[in-house]
A and B are shown apart, each in its own frame.
Chain A
Amino acid sequence: MTPRHRTKPQGFGLVVTAAAILWVVGLVGVPLGALLLAVGAEPAQVVSELVQQGGLDALGRSIVLAVFAVIVGGVTGTLGGIVLARQRFWGRAVLDVAVDLPLAVSPVIVGLAFVILYGRGGWLEPLATALGVKVLFATPGLFLATAFVCLPFFVREVALVLEEVGTSEEDAARTLGASEWQVFVWVTLPQLRGALRVGTLLTVARALGEFGAVLVLGGAIEGRTQTATTFVHTMMEERHDAGAFGMSLILAAMTVLLVQALPTGARTKH
């Protein structure tokens, strides 16, 4: 355990601390407060627009996407993280960078790339047609977009923890006669408990909040590919401000709850 020093701010430290508080309050607190007031001003209108304009349907779709992202990301990300942390192979450095791309590249651009791939004349269009799957402006497009933007979270968390704990516990289990499968289930997985929890929370937050890629790939079609965030956008455009405020508040509240569930260490790390 490294000691943590927290002291009462003095002098220049006091100025910096005050500035930091103002900055955060101005950037986060004030807009959230405004949202809360806007909803509080006309609660009946908010509820009726959420229900009548398909807001609940959109919210439900977003939650399904988040659950999907956690399952797919949890499995592939755990394996990917183990590969990155434990294997040394040609091309590892490239993979290491590629995993972070979804954080660096704008989701709109990614959406566009998938549109080119699966659109008319795209490389993967024949495959999708042969399988009888419609990707663009349909549910598979939403899944693709969400899986892509959530790719880094589990991989990073898992790889980080595995590099920190090293291989000696796994080696100890091997010398005690454990098979590779027993080593994984009894030693490696329990070490990853915290990483999987943080990965889950970050993935859910990202999946719920994703806008650009799901808009480009899904098209925000009401009742089919509308998600919570694209619903907010549609409501704004159609001058149903109450519905937009309501959904925004719901999303903000869910995110705040998620961040609260993060372990303290992870909250400062990310």
Chain B
Amino acid sequence: MGIVAKNLHKQFGETQVIRGVSLSVERGEMVSLLGPSGGGKSTVLRILAGLERADAGEVWLDGNRVDHLDAASRGVGFVFQHYALFRHMRVVDNVAFGLKVRKVKPDEARRRAEALLARVGLGGLSERWPDELSGGQRQRVALARALAPEPRVLLLDEPFGALDARVRADLREWLRRLHDEVGATTVLVTHDQEEALSVSDRVILVKDGLIEQDGSPSEIVDTPRTEFVARFVGEVNVVEGVVGADGLLAAGGLSMRIPAGSKVGDRLRAVLRSHELHLEMDPRGLGVVRRVVPLDDRARVELSLNGASLVARVPRADAQALVIGGPVTVALHEPARVWAIEG
């Protein structure tokens, strides 16, 4: 096993930032920690790296317990959101730093640093200063620097968070290819669900210092375990209603099957993902189309139904038939997910 963390706890002042996080990452696997800011995912990463010490819990890397070791002794590559390049060193010296520390001979260190720079596509830039590079180039230098000592584990803390959407999308594909070539066990922290789903073998959702769900991208998308996960990985509608005598939940003019364990009269909240709604122009329909936004092969439709606002994602072809202000019937593709309200 590449990385194992057992029951980590961490408190800053009065705040419990991590409240019992356990996870494991296979050797060579690429896993994302996904969640909203302030949820504790970066702290988990810093604990794995040895930059923070957990109040309780264990960290194992490649079968060795390391929580007593400082960051310098763990042999872990780390990439920071704001690059953290050494601004007083040239690009090549930044990349060679981890080799210099390990007493690699200067010309050998330089040769290896140049080779790594070429590999990350920055061949001609080794004599530049960090502040002469674009954000995307800086982050690639940071990655080359982290990879230079050939770490078994690579930890990335919101590595693309400070970049434009376009650069971010390019870099994440590139990162995935690099990961497959290098083979280091990789953990990526991000708040961008698209990033997490598109590059990782597995996604771990972290919220309020706890793991909300741990699964493959398709498990997370297709079978979100909680309302939070569903909301985080997709566009959803939340409707509230009561279970009727027919055993169906009537909410917002829709009726749907109820989850096991609920009974007639229960007040439930249903989470309907936007692509689960089916729309059809119909003079007797109770919904009203408000707005149609074309996306690539689908369209995002905003509509109102019995006073509630809903969002649907439908194929572009279906959207062509919709008229703004026109009546539609709203139906559900089964199975819609329904969650009981807490408390």
Interface residues, chain A, CB within 8 Å of chain B?
168-169, 171-179, 182, 186-187, 190-191, 193
Closest Cβ neighbor of B142 among chain A residues: A172
Give chain B residues whose Cβ lies under 8 Å from the Cβ of A190.
86, 88
Contacting pair A176 B145 (CB below 8 A): yes
Contact of B75 with A by CB under 8 A: yes
Closest Cβ neighbor of B70 among chain A residues: A174
In the bound complex, how far is the Cα of B130 from the Cα of A191, in angstroms?
A: 14
In the bound complex, how far is the Cα of B102 from the Cα of A178, in angstroms?
A: 8
Give chain A residues whose Cβ lies under 8 Å from the Cβ of B40.
none
Min C-beta distance of A66 to chain B, whole Å: 28
Contacting pair A172 B78 (CB below 8 A): yes
Min C-beta distance of B195 to chain A, whole Å: 21
Contacting pair A172 B86 (CB below 8 A): yes
Give chain A residues whose Cβ lies under 8 Å from the Cβ of B88.
190-191, 193
Closest Cβ neighbor of A170 among chain B residues: B84
Contacting pair B77 A175 (CB below 8 A): yes
Give chain B residues whose Cβ lies under 8 Å from the Cβ of A187.
86
Q: Interface size on B (CB < 8 Å)? A: 28
Contacting pair B87 A169 (CB below 8 A): yes
A-B contact pairs, 21 of them (CB 8 A): A168-B80, A171-B51, A172-B85, A172-B142, A173-B97, A174-B70, A174-B71, A174-B72, A175-B49, A175-B78, A175-B146, A176-B98, A176-B149, A177-B72, A177-B73, A177-B75, A177-B149, A178-B72, A179-B72, A186-B86, A191-B88
Give me the 4 closest cross-chain CB pairs, A-B, nearest first.
Answer: A176-B98, A168-B84, A175-B78, A174-B71
**Additional 18 contacts, C-beta under 8 A, given A169-B86, A171-B80, A176-B146:** A171-B71, A171-B78, A172-B84, A172-B86, A173-B97, A173-B101, A174-B71, A175-B49, A175-B72, A176-B72, A176-B97, A176-B98, A176-B101, A176-B145, A176-B149, A177-B75, A177-B149, A186-B97
Contacting pair B78 A178 (CB below 8 A): no
Give chain A residues whose Cβ lies under 8 Å from the Cβ of B71.
171, 174-175
Give chain A residues whose Cβ lies under 8 Å from the Cβ of B80.
168, 171-172
Question: B72, B78, B142 — which one has the most chain A CB atoms within 10 A of its CB?
Answer: B72
In the bound complex, how far is the Cα of B89 from the Cα of A193, in angstroms?
A: 13
Min C-beta distance of A50 to chain B, whole Å: 44
In the bound complex, how far is the Cα of B72 from the Cα of A158, in angstroms?
A: 25
Within 8 A of A (CB), among B49-101: 49-51, 70-78, 80, 82, 84-88, 97-98, 101
Give chain B residues whose Cβ lies under 8 Å from the Cβ of A193.
88
Give chain A residues whose Cβ lies under 8 Å from the Cβ of B74.
175
Within 8 A of A (CB), among B199-227: none
Contacting pair B101 A182 (CB below 8 A): yes
In the bound complex, how far is the Cα of B145 from the Cα of A178, in angstroms?
A: 13
Min C-beta distance of A167 to chain B, whole Å: 9
In the bound complex, how far is the Cα of B93 from the Cα of A187, in angstroms?
A: 12
Within 8 A of A (CB), among B134-156: 142, 145-146, 148-149
Contacting pair B101 A175 (CB below 8 A): no
Among B84, B85, B87, B102, contact of A177 (Cβ-Cβ < 8 Å):
B102
In the bound complex, how far is the Cα of B101 from the Cα of A168, in angstroms?
A: 18
Closest Cβ neighbor of A179 among chain B residues: B72
Min C-beta distance of A193 to chain B, whole Å: 8
Give chain A residues whose Cβ lies under 8 Å from the Cβ of B82.
168
In the bound complex, how far is the Cα of B77 from the Cα of A176, in angstroms?
A: 7
Give chain A residues whose Cβ lies under 8 Å from the Cβ of B142.
172
In the bound complex, how far is the Cα of B98 from the Cα of A169, in angstroms?
A: 13
Q: A175-B76, A175-B77 are in contact. Are A169 and B84 (CB under 8 A)?
A: yes
In the bound complex, how far is the Cα of B51 from the Cα of A175, in angstroms?
A: 8
Question: A172, A173, A175, A179 — which one has the most chain B CB atoms within 10 A of its CB?
Answer: A175
Question: A172, A173, A193 — which one has the most chain B CB atoms within 10 A of its CB?
Answer: A172
In the bound complex, how far is the Cα of B158 from the Cα of A168, in angstroms?
A: 14
Question: B49, B98, B101 — which one has the most chain A CB atoms within 10 A of its CB?
Answer: B101
Closest Cβ neighbor of B78 among chain A residues: A175
